[in-house]
């Protein structure tokens, strides 16, 4: 278990900034308790300081996870966000998309969100900007990438993709092995 190197931090922040933008500052300077990022076998964990104090006592090869897993570094050194980071992202999200109940299940199966399933979308979403997907009752369902910017979305035909799927809570059932 070790802190991130500068390069790794850079890659991760770039990925996070598409979803959270400047609010990464809040992640680093958490008001309630200081948190830090730690790397454990290619996975990045967002850990509070009290956990960090306890963690070194345990033998390093037995620890499976700490705090919240944000994502992992792939073999090609790219950073992939996991669905386990949804709570963290949701708190500081810049752009949100609300999906209609008709399209909810389809998204939870891993499909993209078509225009017909779009309920609401925040203004000013850039194309390929990171977006949190919520149900109409404000329950976070996952995250994705906006296929088009908000203005273009309004004029899109019903079958056109609004949000490209990146992660959804259905993965807890479909993809159990990947969570750890």
Partner 1 sequence: MARSTTKKAPAKSAGKKKKVVKPPTPSPPASSDEEQEESENEVDDNSEGEEFTDGKTFTDDNQKWLKMKGDDSASEDDEADSDSEASISQIERDAMALDAEKEEEVKEFEEDLQRQRQEMTKVFHLPTAEELEEDEDRVVPPSEIRERVEEIIEVMQDFKRRREPSRSRTEYMDQLESDLSEYFGYLPELISLFLKMFSPSEALEFLDASDKPRPLVIRTNTLKARRKDLAQALIKRGVNLDPLAPWSKVGLKIYESTVPIGATPEYLSGHYMLQSAASMCPVMALEPQPGEKVLDMSSAPGGKTSYVSQLMKNEGIVVANDLKVERQKATVGNLHRLGVKNVITCCNDGKNFPKVMGNFDRVLLDAPCSGLGVISRDQSIKVQRTVKDIERTAHLQKELLLSGIDSLNAKSKTGGIMVYSTCSVSVQENEQVVQYILNKRDVKLVDTGLKHGKPGFQRYQERRFHPSMQLTRRFYPHTHNMDGFFVAKFRKLSNKERIPPPEEVEDEEVSGEEEEDVEMDVEEDEEEVSEEKKALRAKFMSGIVKPEDDEEIDSEEETKKSENKPKKERWEKIKKGKKKKGEKVVKEQKSKQVAGKKKSGGGGGPEKKKAKK
Partner 2 sequence: MSLNAMDVAPSAFSSGSDGLSEKMRFDLQNLVAYNDFEQQHPSGEEELEQFLLDKASEGTQQLLQNLFSLPWKKSDVGPLALLPGYSKTDLGIDNSLTVLPRAKPPPVQKEETRWSQFAKEKGLEDKKRGRKEWDEATGEWKVRYGMGSANKEKEEYPIMPAVNGDPNADPWEHERGKKRAKVEKNNLNRLKNQERTGAVPKGTAKKYEKKIEADTHARDVQKSRDQPGIPLDLKTGKGSIVKTAGKRGLENTKRALEMTRLSTASMGKFDQARAGEGKKRRSGEEIKLRRKDMSSIVTQTRSSENQKSLQVLDSVLKGSAKKEKMRKTGQMSTGETGHDYDYDDGLGGGKYRKKKGRAGAGKLKSASKKMIK
Task: For 44-61, give one letter per residue: b (16+ CB within 10 A) or e.
Answer: bbbbbeeebeebeeeeee
Do residues 131 and 96 touch, judged by C-beta distance below 8 A?
yes
**Sole window of 10-18, 48-56, 143-151, 155-163 interacting with partner 1 (rule: CB under 8 A):** 48-56
Segment lying near partner 2 (by CB under 8 A), choices 53-61, 84-92, 134-142, 170-178: 53-61
138 touches partner 1 by CB under 8 A: no
Output 54 or 64, the one with its CB closest to partner 2: 54
Segment contacting partner 1 by CB under 8 A, of 10-18, 19-27, 133-141, 147-155? 133-141
Asked if residue 50 binds partner 2 (CB under 8 A), the reply is: no
Q: Which residue has the tokens 């499976």?
A: 64
- Residue 177 interacts, among partner 1, partner 2, none and using kind-specific CB cut-offs from 5 to 8 Å, with partner 1
Q: Is residue 43 within 8 Å of residue 79, measured between CB atoms? A: no
Which 8-state DSSP code applies to residue 143?
A: E
């Amino acid at each position: 278990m070790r802190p991130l190197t500068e390069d790794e931090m850079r890659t991760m922040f770039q990925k996070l900034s598409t979803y959270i933008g400047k609010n990464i500052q809040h992640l680093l300077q958490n008001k309630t308790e200081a948190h830090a990022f730690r790397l454990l076998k290619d996975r990045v964990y967002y850990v509070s300081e009290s956990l960090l104090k306890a963690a070194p006592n345990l033998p390093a090869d037995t620890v499976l996870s700490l705090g919240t897993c944000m994502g992992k570094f792939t073999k090609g050194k790219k950073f992939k966000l996991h669905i386990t980071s949804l709570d963290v992202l949701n708190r500081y999200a810049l752009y949100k998309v609300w999906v209609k109940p008709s399209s909810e299940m389809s998204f939870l199966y891993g499909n993209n969100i078509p225009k017909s399933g779009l309920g609401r979308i925040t203004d000013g979403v850039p194309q390929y900007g990171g977006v949190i997907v919520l149900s109409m009752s404000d329950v976070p369902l996952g995250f994705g990438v906006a296929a088009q910017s908000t203005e273009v979305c309004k004029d899109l035909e019903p079958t056109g993709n609004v949000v490209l799927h990146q992660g959804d809570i259905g993965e807890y059932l479909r993809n159990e092995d990947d969570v750890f």
